[in-house]
Every structure is written in C-alpha cells, then in structure tokens.
Amino acid sequence: MRRTVIAGNWKMHMTCAEAQAYTEAFRPLVADLPRDRQVLVAPPFTAIATVAAALQGTGVCIAAQNVHWEDKGAYTGMISAPMLLEHGVTHAIVGHSEPRKYYSETDEQINLRARSAQEHGLIPILCVGESLDQREARETERVIHRQVEQGLEGIDPLRLIVAYEPIWAIGTGKTCASIEANRICGLIRGWVGNPDVVVQYGGSVNEASIDELMAQSDIDGVLVGGASLNPKGFARIANYQVPVAAAA
C-alpha cells in the first residue's frame, strides 16, 4: 500500500519568529501520527533552518518551495539542491502554478528543476493542473498529460510525487469535487507509468474537506496552501481519518 503524503506549502508566509511559534504549537499535535502517512512542511527558504531544527525528531520532513537546476552560478535570487540538502531538506516542489504564472516558468525549466532535485537525492513534487478556461474548453486531460510528459522527461518514476492542482481551485475556496480529483489523479498515475507513485490533490484543501478527499482510492495525499498556515488546522489535516467503510 502507498504511504500517503500530507504537505503544507507556506508560500511567502512566516518570518523565522513566526515559524518558531508555529512549530511549538504544531509539534505536540503530530506526535502520534499513524505510520501510514508522511507529513511535510515547505517553509520559505529563509525559515527552513529554523523549522528543520524545531521539528527534529518528529518525523515531519522539510520541503523546499522550488529548486534551481544548476548547483551554483550567476543566478541571482535562486537556491540550488546542494544548498537545500545542507539543511536536511528532503523534497522540492517544482512546477507550482504560481511560479509558472508569475515567473513564466516553462515545462522545460520545470523538468530541469525536477532532474536536479533527483540527481541530488531530493524527491521532486511536480505540480500540474489546468486553468478554468482550459477546463471549460475540455482541455483538462490534454494539458495535464503534456505537463506530466514534459515535466518528467528523463525522471525516475520511482522517486517522485505528482500533485494535481487545478489552478481554479488554488486559493479560491473552491475545492475540486473529490470524485473528479480522484479521476484525474488516476489518469496521472497511468501517465507516470508507476502504479506506486504518490499522487496528491491540491487546491483549497481544508479541515472540512480532507477526510473525504483521503477516502478516494487514487488520492494519496494533499498539498495544502492557506490551511497549512494554522498549526492546529494543519495538524487536523495531517491527522485525517478515512471513514471505516471507505477504508475497507
């Protein structure tokens, strides 16, 4: 059985002082997590060292919100995989819709980022998802298939997470219906070609929607933005419970 992965993407939130206070509240709430799940937090780069130290011994791992494809060089403002490894980072989000939109990241660059992550032993979390226009034009499958194919070129499908994040559901409060999210996650798993790949859902996940999402057969975890900023709320998400009937 696949181990589920619950990840919190803090985006551009939390100073070190705020991150420290967060982890103090969060630690006891995830002390007895069931073994069937892995929890990750993705702080901004500046708070990674603080969070890594504060969560040591909890089993909660640290993800980076992005990673550059070169190890070093004249790339002002960027962070490389070796720099992340030094802080105990284990995962790196690549291809999130925000850098795709605001910094015009291409599938080719995203692929380079994922490759660099893997080459250094980090697990890339490749985000894919359609816009509202694309969904309404019935292009969802075609768009996501292309993102998966181009994003994963040359990538080992065994050391990877894919997150299905419909752009229209991110930060909007509109969660994708769990059955539809499950359908797309199943398609993604087929396209990746590894039946054991973890496929997450992301987009307005919160305490109210988590249990139903996690009861779906092809959803192996979630990538949570806004709702991960509250330690109590994110701990509730990490402690999701699948109703007995769904789990059977």
Contact footprint for ligand PGA (CB under 6 A): 9, 165, 170-171, 202-205, 223-227
| Selected catalytic residue, list 68, 91, 96, 212 | 96
User: Toward ligand PGA, which CB reaches closer, 88 or 171?
Assistant: 171
Residue 231's Cα: distance from chain center in Å?
Answer: 17
Closest C-alpha among 215, 203, 222 to residue 241: 215
CA distance 172 to 166: 11
Q: How far is the CB of 41 from ligand PGA (least distance, A)?
A: 13
145 has catalytic annotation: no
105, 130, 165, 212: the active-site residue: 165
Q: Of the two residues 98 and 195, which places its CB atom closer to ligand PGA in the complex?
A: 98
The 3-state DSSP class for residue 164 equals: strand
Exposed / middle / buried, residue 121 (Cβ in 10 Å: 0-12, 13-18, 19+): exposed
Tokens of 138: 């019935």
87 is catalytic: no
As measured in angstroms, the least distance from the Cβ of 94 to ligand PGA is: 12
For 116, the 3-state DSSP assignment is helix
- Residue 14 vs 205, nearer CB to ligand PGA: 205
Smallest gap from Cβ 76 to ligand PGA, in A, equals 25
Q: Which residues are catalytic?
A: 96, 165
